[in-house]
């Protein structure tokens, strides 16, 4: 995509050298082709389709339950209409989601998942003179996107309770353009309190935005930050249907913010939404008790694994999401590779926690197989 004159003027104003325009255009128009776009490119994963029969795949925070029955039925019913664009469906999804979340019209923008909205937010609000501030350890695509366009990245270690250290984050740089908060945090699965988020919002530099990634918020009973969006604060909230709704492969998500912020993100390109993902997402939002039921299933399974760790003397981070970090007492990559030989595929390690590995919560049967393999490998 060629940059518009307005975009070029905005980039120059924010300190981007003109020689970077080609890279900026690439990020704006083809973020999905770049190496930092998705979980697969970050994970220590096998090539697609290479898993052996019976493998336990608990590595990329997917939901093994898949789409709910209402979503699956809506998707099946619309397949015969796949020859039509059906441009109205994203607008219908945005209307349904806005009503469900108590937002006014124009405060929801549909995306295929939430990754593209994340990258365009980084492009819109960071630059060589406006850094990105993130947690360490944290979810890396925001950092990778910022570095790709030449923006400085400031990592702030998590607090002792694994929440975001909001005081250090707010003070990280007086010229910061974007503060990325994943809540619950990936990879630790831990929450940052509402009071801390409000502190960060109140003490961040003028002209910056708070980008709150709530991919895993449905696994908790906290309210999230959409009321801050409704109050027209400098907040962009990201939501995805890849996690509790079980639609990772179907690609549906949204950015939620006041209309001027959404327009700034949207200026970097169009979002073409598959009709299957849109009807699946609409049906998921409308499904009664879906979130509560799936939250309980995940919580019960996760807490069973935590009890197993306590019984056998392993330290873990007390996650509230559908994944967790466990200390394996040696380089995490070694344990991941050993578990693969047992046909169990877990997630990766982070540089700041090299002896811990991230594990997704699968079905009870999958987690029983994980526990047996884990004991064997750790012995």
Instruction: Please check whether residue 71 is in contact with residue 245, taking contact to mean a CB–CB distance below 8 angstroms.
Output: yes
Q: Is the pLDDT of residue 16 over 50?
A: yes
- Arithmetic mean of pLDDT over the chain: 91
Residue 127 has pLDDT above 90, yes or no: yes
Per-residue model confidence as pLDDT tens digits over 220-233: 999 899 999 999 99
CATH number of 39-65+290-378: 3.90.1150.10
Span of 92-106, 115-129, 187-201, 297-311 with lowest mean pLDDT: 115-129
Q: Are 221 and 188 in contact (CB under 8 A)?
A: no
Encode 107-132: b = buried (16+ Cβ within 10 Å), e = exposed: bbbbbbbbbbbbbbbbbbbbbeebbb
Residue 112 has pLDDT above 60, yes or no: yes
> What is the C-alpha separation between 36 and 43, in angstroms, rounded?
11
Q: Per DSSP, which regions of the chain are E strands?
A: 56-58, 108-111, 132-136, 153-157, 178-182, 209-213, 235-240, 253-256, 323-327, 344-346, 356-360
DSSP assignment string, 222-251: S--SHHHHHTT-SEEEEEESSSTT--TTT-
Residue 47 reports pLDDT greater than 50: no
* pLDDT in the model for residue 213: 98
What pLDDT is attached to residue 42?
A: 54
Q: Look at the domain 68-286 and name its fold.
A: 3.40.640
Q: Are 319 and 188 in contact (CB under 8 A)?
A: yes
**pLDDT higher than threshold 70 for residue 86:** yes
171-198 per-position pLDDT tens digit: 999 999 999 999 999 999 999 999 999 9
Distance CA 144, CA 25 (A): 16
Mean pLDDT of 90-102: 97
The percentage of the chain sitting over the pLDDT mark of 90, rounded to a whole number, equals 82
- Is pLDDT above 60 for 36? no
| pTM for this predicted structure | 0.92
Q: What is the pLDDT confidence band of residue 270, given thresholds at 50, 70 and 90?
A: confident
**pLDDT beyond 80 at 46:** no
Mean pLDDT within 313-320? 98
pLDDT value at residue 219: 98
Per-residue pLDDT, 143: 93
The confidence score (pLDDT) of residue 249 equals 94
Q: Does 297 have pLDDT greater than 80?
A: yes
pLDDT of residue 103: 98
* Residue 148 confidence (pLDDT): 85
pLDDT of residue 369: 98
Cα(363)–Cα(254) distance, rounded to whole angstroms?
27
CB atoms near residue 25 (< 10 Å): 17
pLDDT of residue 269: 77
Q: 58 and 363 in contact (C-beta within 8 Å)?
A: no
DSSP state of 138: -
Least Cα distance to 305 among 263, 357, 257 occurs for 357
Are 257 and 229 spatial neighbours (Cβ–Cβ below 8 Å)? yes
Domain definitions of the chain by residue range: 39-65+290-378, 68-286
- Could you read off the pLDDT of 351-368 as tens digits, one per residue? 999 999 999 999 999 999
37-47 burial: b if 16+ Cβ within 10 Å, else e: bbbeebbbbee
Q: What values do phi and psi take at 147, rounded to 5?
A: -65, -35
Q: Of 19-33, 118-132, 333-347, which gets the smallest average pLDDT? A: 19-33
When pLDDT is averaged across residues 291-295 and rounded to a whole number, the result is 98
Predicted pLDDT at 32: 46
Confidence of residue 1 (pLDDT cuts 50, 70, 90): low
């Amino acid at each position: 995509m060629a940059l518009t004159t307005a975009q070029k003027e905005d980039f120059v104003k924010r300190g981007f050298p003109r020689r970077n325009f080609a890279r900026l255009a690439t990020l704006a128009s083809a973020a999905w082709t770049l190496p930092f776009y998705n979980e697969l490119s970050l994970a220590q994963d096998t090539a697609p389709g290479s898993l052996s029969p019976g493998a336990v795949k608990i590595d990329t925070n997917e939901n093994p339950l898949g789409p709910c029955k209402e979503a699956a039925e809506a998707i099946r019913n619309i397949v015969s209409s796949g020859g039509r664009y059906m441009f109205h469906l994203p607008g219908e999804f945005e209307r349904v989601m806005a009503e469900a979340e108590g937002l006014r019209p124009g405060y929801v923008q549909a995306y295929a998942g939430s990754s593209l909205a994340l990258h365009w937010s980084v492009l819109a609000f960071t630059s060589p003179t406006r850094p990105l501030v993130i947690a360490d350890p944290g979810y890396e695509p925001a950092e990778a996107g910022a570095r790709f366009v030449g923006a400085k990245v400031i990592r702030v270690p998590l607090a002792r309770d694994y929440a975001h250290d909001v005081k250090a984050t707010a003070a990280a740089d007086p010229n910061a353009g974007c503060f990325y908060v994943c809540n619950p945090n990936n990879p630790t699965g831990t929450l940052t309190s509402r009071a801390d988020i409000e502190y960060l919002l109140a003490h961040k530099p003028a002209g910056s935005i708070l980008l709150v990634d709530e991919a895993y918020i449905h696994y908790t009973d906290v309210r999230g930050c959409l009321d801050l969006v409704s109050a027209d604060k400098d907040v962009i909230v990201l939501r995805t249907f890849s996690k509790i709704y079980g639609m990772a492969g179907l690609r549906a998500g949204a950015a939620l913010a006041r209309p001027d912020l959404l327009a700034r993100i949207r200026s970097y390109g169009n979002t073409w939404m598959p009709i299957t993902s849109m009807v699946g997402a609409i049906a998921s939002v409308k499904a009664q008790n879906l979130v509560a039921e799936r939250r309980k299933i995940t919580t019960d399974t996760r807490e069973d694994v935590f009890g197993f760790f306590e019984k056998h003397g392993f330290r873990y981070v007390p996650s509230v999401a559908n994944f967790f970090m466990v200390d394996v007492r040696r380089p995490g990559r070694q344990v991941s590779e050993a578990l693969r030989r047992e046909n169990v595929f877990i997630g990766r390690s982070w540089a700041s926690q090299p002896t811990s590995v991230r594990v997704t919560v699968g079905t009870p049967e999958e987690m029983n197989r994980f526990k047996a393999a884990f004991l064997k490998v750790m012995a």
